[in-house]
Chains A and B, each alone.
Chain A
Amino acid sequence: MAYDKFKILSTTAVPLPIENVDTDQIIPARFLKATERKGFGDNLFRDWRYHPDNTPKEQFVLNNPIYKGKILVGGKNFGSGSSREHAAWAIYDYGFRCVVSSFFADIFRGNCMNIGVLPVQVSPEFLIKIFEAIEVDPNTEFEVNLPEQTFTIKSTGEKESFEINDYKKENLLNGFDDIDYLLNIKNEIESFAKGTPL
């Protein structure tokens, strides 16, 4: 699935200082019934965001107009639980391009990179600084620099570098996906398949 190329992102951020945010919260199962990848942003954090009668829960951060931007900052172990890529779709579709946390669940992290959302893992100390910066000023800007692999709090100039493997980085910078790569090596795959015992 094609997605926008990712290079440098300068934007404000939305804070969600909760640990173990699982994919059932990001998108509850009852919203997984589509057969196309459309409209998932409306149901991002559905049950934290809306009352059962669909009126917004005012205290939830996505309903607070003070907080906006293309970065979502979450607590430790973000994205645990189900493998549903719909969670990453919902985040992308809502308008986020980057998720920051001190720790990500495996499958969620992979899903994000496969659809053009950059997961940035920072140290627990730096994560606290990011939350503090937003608390002091919700309009604080951050810079996510993929070529340099750095995340910067622009108001203070503090920055931390993050890890990503070269292959995934190239993909995100160019908007490529793994299927393009795999289809290119189809011959190798087919000869490998001939030798598999099962």
Chain B
Amino acid sequence: MKKTLFDKVWDSHVVKKVLNGPDVLFIDRHLVHEVTSPVAFLGLKNRNIKVLYPERTFATADHNTPTINQHLPVKDPLSANQLKALEQNAKEHQIPYWGLGHEKNGIVHVIGPENGITLPGATIVCGDSHTSTHGAFGAIAFGIGTSEVEMVLASQCIMQPKPKSMRITINGTLNSAVTPKDVALYIISKLSTSGATGYFVEYAGDVFRQMSMEGRMTVCNLSIEMGARGGMIAPDKKTFDYIKDREFTPKGLDWDKAMNYWNTLYTDDNSVFDHEVTFNGEDIEPMITYGTNPGMGIGISGGIPKSDAIKGGAATYKKSLQYMNFEEGDNMLGKEIDFVFLGSCTNGRIEDFRAFASLVKGRRKANNVTAWLVPGSHKVEDAIKKEGLLDILNEAGFELREPGCSACLAMNDDKIPAGKYAVSTSNRNFEGRQGPGARTLLASPLVAAAAAVTGRVTDPRELMIFETA
């Protein structure tokens, strides 16, 4: 039988099928953070049971953590309490825990891959919707709710019906200044935030094959923003090169054995998907969002669509523009902004910092802009320093903060003030996502860098001409 990549991985993890019900799916790796786990651990306690496979479970602190002065006690008592609960739960159940200040600490979806926890063909879950990130390695990875976190802790399984399959193919070559983030925002703008609900997506075609692992992670990360359960890309040489010799990657004979399995992980020719979508790489421009969901994105040189051009939901559309204080038909270019946020599990990896630094190099941060540059992990932070990027950033008037989710979700101290505009490399522009009343424009690290040095929405290609001429 012809099988898709998704079928191969899913089917090999089904412990049992429940009649007229879900599959019992075995989970290889479970990532845990402080926000969605305490109630699950409490559940275990109430049932008087222990974590079944602590060695398959990894815990980090990221959502609630401050991104400055991490050596000092966390000020917010509620956050401190949650962090402490995770530390205690990890200790009690003998789970590896990488708390604040630990060399392996960072955003859960950044540290998984960089420590070799994320592997091709694995099933990976975490109580966070952007778990889809790990699909970049050919894993089935998705976010779960706290009840499911408890299930996985208790039994290393969850119960879910198998999702439908969708393949998104993009062939061709990307234009200059078009990054993986733009590719993802482009897809979401075409499919809408619910266009892939019920599906698991495989990304295929030249554009994804040519992408770096960091770029693939950015794309898979954003799968959830079109409603997909997750997204994945078949592993290839780039994947294997990336994971080889990382701390938790199999070694020696185990590596060879694993490679034999990994080499079978691709979609068989003539496999059938429930849905297929195709785009051209050449059609994609640097993107920016103007509204309050990630599907409300346009090419940066375009104008905000008129409400009569929007299918259904005109009232919702108008409410959204009102929140943003934008008018239909407005151009995005030239709009003044107040904050720039470079970071998150979407764009907080080394490649994102390289891109940002390449554009601000030799320029100055605009005076009207507050910039938060937040590495996704300590390892990313170290690489930024080692590669000399920190000097470039400092010379341009930028500072680097310490790792964490930061302004991605405004649960910690990094909140965008009400009414202010932030160009953000994160993943959600929902009302209040970055702080009550905050207005978010999602974009790539290059667009963020262009905004950071000009103080307004700027086409990064304008600033790059000199370098390519």
Q: Which residues of A contact B (CB under 8 A)?
A: 1, 17-20, 22, 24-25, 28-30, 32-37, 47, 52, 75-77, 80-86, 88, 103-107, 110-111, 114-115, 165-168, 177-179, 181-183, 185-186, 188-189, 192-193, 196-198
Contacts and interface: CB of A to CB of B under 8 A. Distances in A.
Contacts of A167: 18-22, 159
Given A84-B145, A182-B24, A183-B154, A188 B430 contact: no
A108 to B, nearest CB: 8
B15 A185 contact: yes
B194 A105 contact: yes
A83 B143 contact: yes
15 contacts: A19-B312, A33-B82, A80-B193, A81-B428, A85-B36, A88-B145, A106-B163, A107-B145, A177-B147, A179-B147, A181-B159, A182-B154, A182-B155, A186-B52, A192-B15
Interface in B124-175: 127-129, 131, 142-148, 150-151, 154-161, 163
B78 A33 contact: yes
Contacts of A114: 145, 147-148
B42 to A, nearest CB: 7
Given A35-B81, A178-B147, 9 more contacts: A18-B315, A34-B39, A36-B39, A83-B144, A104-B197, A165-B161, A189-B15, A197-B257, A198-B258
Nearest to B415: A30
Contacts of B155: 179, 182-183, 186, 189
B451 interface: no
Interface string B96-116: 000000000000000000000
Contacts of B410: 28-30
Interface string B426-440: 001011110011000
B411 A189 contact: no
Interface of B: 13, 15-16, 18-22, 24, 26, 28-29, 35-36, 38-39, 42-43, 47, 49, 52-53, 63-64, 76, 78-79, 81-82, 85, 119, 121-122, 127-129, 131, 142-148, 150-151, 154-161, 163, 193-194, 197-198, 227, 229, 250, 257-258, 261, 293, 312-313, 315-316, 319, 409-411, 418, 428, 430-433, 436-437
A84 B148 CA distance: 11
Contacts of A177: 147
Nearest to B89: A35
Nearest to B38: A35
Contact of B151 (A76, A179, A196): A179
A167 B35 CA distance: 29
Interface class of chain B by DSSP: loop
Most buried by A among B82, B142, B147, B198: B147
Nearest to A165: B21
Contact of A193 (B53, B159, B227): B53
Nearest to B296: A20
B197 A103 contact: yes
Contacts of B160: 110
A65 to B, nearest CB: 23
A81 B22 contact: no
Most buried by A among B129, B143, B156: B129
